[in-house]
Chains A and B, each alone.
Chain A
């Protein structure tokens, strides 16, 4: 570790992984509720468990991004963090607010939570992924402002690299678009239109900047390839991400009220959206094959390559599969959407955060050459367990989705099966998904276990 203050990343990473475990536990609960409908009812109804599953995902990824920024920015800027104290203070505030929110979901009915947290004054709750209470949303804004101030001041007093600038642009965009979560008009069509300004412009816009910056940073470190080359790639990748992703928002405007021309715009630009992800894959493999040294942390390299491939498959290929308007007409809101969502989030964002943790955590724990060979072997096992399990989750959900379309959507009214009858018919695939989910969970526990493996110190390979 070059700068003491980089260790501010550590609590963020540890807490992120704890939340990740929680996310998967609730994922297993809702997966089981798909086939055993009354499991844990009425103690934990599906909507509550699902809210915990998705909200934990978002929050742990945000913790991961913040941790990544605290580690990466000082090293890139070649200066200590502006304020380590502020980083720690914001960590505790965010962790406490997040924990209280989750307890709130589980302890009281959602309507009660809404009432006691002032949703009546400024209604923002109860919309997918934006379920958190209004006061938590305000808290997130405060934490984000403090965080951006801290990171921004660090860059201002230090070296301004492309990676730092791209990362900060992404984080600024993340904060800016989150403000739309406070806009909730009575008009449902307008509500949905601007709701996507948070949801789509996050995951298919500014988050890609954050992902690209982190990937570029790790690749510089593990390959030793010239910074100039990597920065050029980074610019082109994020350029393509925004050029395709911004108008690509249109693929969400097909069936919620806006005019029909979005069918053409949304279809064309989402057909282009795999390009930046494909470039990321080419980029990662290219850099690793051109590497100037064999970095002793091979697990981190594996995560970086895996991230690039899985992001392309999940966000790129599975996204493209059903974003053309004539296809989406049938697949919209089916298990095909769920399949895409799972692999895209895992491939792009879960894996980039793990890549960063895998690279930086050993260094912060006083192992500049990475973890011991034994620990890395276990970590690579966890990589394959989680990744292959996620591939199968995606395949089973895709199969479920296709059958759902076949039975429920394609036949004329009167001939089509009802939603619940269809669900009964595809239960087998939900069981298979649940089994894959258990294997994913085993992979995650293996990953956590790899932190506790000691073993022999790694020798630095000759360059």
Chain B
């Protein structure tokens, strides 16, 4: 049995198998890209949102938080923070968000601390807009509840 299974057969499985699955993956990616406009909330992707995303990245927010479950698990999930803290009201959320960011760090001894990032009013609005936009992406009903 072992002798009948030769090295060249093993190599062919490797070459054929990987080629097939790479092509399949590319095909599925193409199909996913066709489906994305219906799902990724791109109609609400404004300049403010784009700037908010840049601020999110340049302050390394996911070094503590997660976004759609990805990032660090040191601080709360923010993919649905608009829903959790704004209850669907954009104005209320932006107000809450600004107050929160400006109050950091809390300096409660022993508690996890969020740094003060010194963002200006416009920047805070952009960052809030980014989180509102993220909340609008279709994540197949994840997370299971509002706590993220």
Chain A residues proximal to chain B, CB less than 8 Å: 30, 33-34, 36-38, 41-42, 45-48, 50-51, 110-111, 114-115, 119, 123, 125-128, 131, 162, 184, 186-193, 228, 231-233, 235-236, 238-239, 242-243, 246-247, 249-250, 253-260, 262-263, 265, 329-330, 332-335, 337-338, 408-414, 416-420, 423
Contact = CB atoms under 8 A, between A and B. Distances in A.
B70 interface: yes
Interface string B12-56: 011001100110110011011001100111100100011001101
Interface in B42-83: 42, 45, 49-50, 53-54, 56-64, 66-77
Nearest to B58: A114
Contacts of B137: 188-189, 256-257
Interface of B: 5-7, 10-11, 13-14, 17-18, 21-22, 24-25, 28-29, 31-32, 35-36, 39-42, 45, 49-50, 53-54, 56-64, 66-77, 105, 107-113, 115, 117, 133-134, 137-140, 142-148
A329 B142 contact: yes
Nearest to A253: B32
9 contacts: A42-B105, A114-B57, A235-B7, A255-B68, A258-B36, A265-B28, A416-B145, A420-B76, A423-B112
Contacts of B69: 255, 332-333, 337
Contact of A257 (B29, B40, B105, B112): B40
Contacts of B145: 409, 411-413, 416
Contact of A126 (B24, B60, B134, B144): B60
Interface of A (DSSP majority class): helix
Contacts of B6: 232
A233 B57 CA distance: 43
A330 B142 CA distance: 9
A368 B109 CA distance: 56
Given A38-B109, A243-B18, A119 B7 contact: no
Contacts of A417: 147
Contact of B59 (A33, A110, A255, A260): A110
A243 B21 contact: yes
Nearest to A421: B147
Given A242-B18, A243-B21, A188 B134 contact: yes
A249 B25 contact: yes
B87 to A, nearest CB: 11
Contacts of A262: 32
A36 B70 CA distance: 23
A229 B14 CA distance: 16
Given A42-B105, A188-B134, 11 more contacts: A110-B59, A233-B10, A238-B14, A239-B10, A243-B21, A254-B142, A256-B68, A262-B32, A332-B142, A333-B71, A413-B147
A191 B137 CA distance: 13
A41 B113 contact: yes
Contact of A45 (B5, B67, B115, B146): B115
A232 B4 CA distance: 12
B72 A50 contact: yes
Nearest to A411: B145
A208 B92 CA distance: 49
A262 B31 CA distance: 11
Contact of B147 (A253, A258, A335, A418): A418
Given A33-B74, A45-B115, A239-B14, A126 B56 contact: yes
Contact of B115 (A42, A191, A192, A411): A42
A329 B32 CA distance: 20
A257 B60 contact: no
A125 B112 contact: no
